């Protein structure tokens, strides 16, 4: 009986240690780290050539803008700040929806829109050739590396060529409509290349088309967008401090949109601007509060579906 038990135990031990299939002998935790192979991002320098600019003008004015205006209503404020600054600039905006990019581009004066590129995640908008071509042609996107790929053109080169850049410092769309942590990419580019940052705040895009939705909700929801005074890095100001100042400017614009210009300035002066990250409450309440856009119909908000 004991012999049988020992035999069964030996067989089980051999089974557990046998290299079934291609199982490695070395535990995965002990294997040396091998970085993933670097991938080249689809080159899209062609999207800023005169021919591409002409094609994009037709696509945006004849195709994109009529469709966009038929689905949403837009109120733009503060565009006069662009009369007091020479390009290129970095437009730093909050990010809550795929509507953000057309909202910003189509609200800009034509002369600015034609010379503005949009920084887009390379791993999302440039993962397939057709998505890369489409976004480059329609929105003049340029890839921003998030996963170790190689870029054919850097944001600094685009700025040096006289193109303004739209950058969403949060890095991705908000899941609940509230602002996420600002990364320091926009601030770094501004400090490194001596380019002013124009803060941009918009409201209503999450209620109209939250993350996961493929089309704006019915009823032409109201979107608002505000442009703030250009910000320039002070002498000796660190990238981190400047990024914090840019975020504060966007937060003040959001406060202004919900209240009024003078009250928002008073709160900003006393460091009492409401936190754009939203209340520390349950997820459903955060979504509910962020979907209270002007003239929105709660019964038609897709975030609740």
Q: What is the CATH number of the domain that holds 113?
A: 3.40.1130
Give percent above pLDDT 70 in the chain.
83
The average confidence (pLDDT) of the chain is 84
State the pLDDT at residue 110: 95
The CA distance from 95 to 228, in Å, is 16
pLDDT of 154 above 50: yes
Q: Is residue 233 part of a domain?
A: yes
State the pLDDT at residue 153: 67
- For the stretch 240-284, pLDDT in tens is 999 999 999 999 999 999 889 999 999 999 999 998 888 888 877
* Residue 8 neighbours by CB distance under 10 Å: 10
The CA distance from 154 to 185, in Å, is 12
pLDDT of 18 above 80: no
Most confident stretch, 75-84, 115-124, 179-188: 75-84
Q: Is residue 293 part of a domain?
A: yes
Q: Is residue 18 part of a domain?
A: no
pLDDT of 219 above 70: yes
Q: Is residue 2 part of a domain?
A: no
pLDDT of 19 above 60: no
pLDDT of 150 above 60: no
pLDDT of 82 above 80: yes
The CA distance from 4 to 283, in Å, is 59
Our count of domains for the chain comes to 1
**Helices 261-269 & 239-258 angle (0-180, nearest 10):** 140
Residue 301 pLDDT class (50, 70, 90 cuts): very low
Mean pLDDT within 198-220 = 91
DSSP strands (E only) in 112-258:
116-121, 141-144, 164-167, 197-203, 222-227
Provide the 3-class DSSP secondary structure of residue 66: helix
State the pLDDT at residue 43: 78
State the pLDDT at residue 279: 80
Q: Is residue 133 part of a domain?
A: yes
Q: Is residue 59 part of a domain?
A: yes
pLDDT of 296 above 60: no
Lowest mean pLDDT among 69-78, 117-126, 195-204, 228-237: 117-126
177-212 burial code (b ≥16 CB/10 A, e <16): bbbbebebbbbbbbbeeebbbbbbbbbbbbbbbbbe
Provide the terminal-to-terminal Cα distance of the chain, rounded to the nearest Å: 64
Between 109 and 36, residue with greater pLDDT: 109
Residue 132 pLDDT class (50, 70, 90 cuts): confident
Q: Number of helices and strands (H, E) in the chain?
A: 13, 7
Report angle CA 162, 168, 172 to the nearest 5 degrees: 140
pTM of the model: 0.81
Q: Is residue 23 part of a domain?
A: no
- For the stretch 36-62, pLDDT in tens is 555 566 778 899 999 999 999 999 999
pLDDT of 94 above 60: yes
**Domain extent for 230:** 45-304
Is residue 209 within 8 Å of 305, Cβ to Cβ?
no
State the pLDDT at residue 208: 93
Q: Is residue 56 part of a domain?
A: yes
Mean pLDDT within 27-39 = 63
């Amino acid at each position: 009986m004991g012999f049988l038990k020992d035999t069964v135990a030996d067989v089980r031990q051999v089974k557990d240690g046998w290299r079934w299939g291609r199982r490695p002998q070395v535990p995965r935790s002990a294997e040396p780290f091998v970085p993933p192979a670097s991938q080249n991002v689809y080159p899209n320098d062609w999207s800023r050539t005169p021919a591409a600019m002409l094609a994009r003008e037709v696509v945006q004015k004849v195709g994109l803008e009529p469709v966009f205006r038929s689905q949403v209503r837009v109120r733009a404020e503060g565009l006069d700040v662009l009369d007091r600054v020479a390009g290129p600039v970095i437009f730093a905006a909050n990010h809550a929806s795929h509507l953000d990019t057309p909202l910003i581009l189509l609200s800009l004066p034509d002369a600015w829109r034609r010379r503005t590129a949009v920084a887009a995640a390379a791993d999302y908008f440039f993962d397939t050739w057709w998505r890369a071509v489409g976004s480059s042609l329609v929105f003049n996107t340029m890839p921003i590396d998030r996963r170790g790929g190689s870029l054919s053109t850097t944001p600094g080169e685009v700025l040096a060529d006289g193109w303004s850049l739209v950058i969403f410092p949060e890095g991705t769309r908000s899941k609940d409509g509230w602002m996420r942590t600002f990364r320091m990419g926009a601030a770094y580019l501004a400090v490194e290349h001596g380019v002013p940052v124009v803060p941009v705040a918009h409201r209503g895009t999450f209620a109209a088309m939250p993350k996961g939705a493929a089309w704006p909700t019915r009823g032409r929801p109201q979107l608002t967008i505000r442009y703030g005074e250009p910000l320039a890095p002070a002498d000796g100001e660190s990238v981190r401090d400047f990024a914090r100042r840019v975020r504060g400017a966007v937060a003040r614009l959001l406060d202004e949109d919900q209240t009024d210009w003078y009250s928002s300035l008073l709160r900003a002066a006393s460091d009492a601007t409401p936190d754009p990250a939203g209340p520390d409450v349950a997820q459903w309440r955060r979504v509910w509060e962020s979907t209270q856009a002007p003239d929105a119909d709660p019964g038609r908000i897709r975030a609740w579906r």
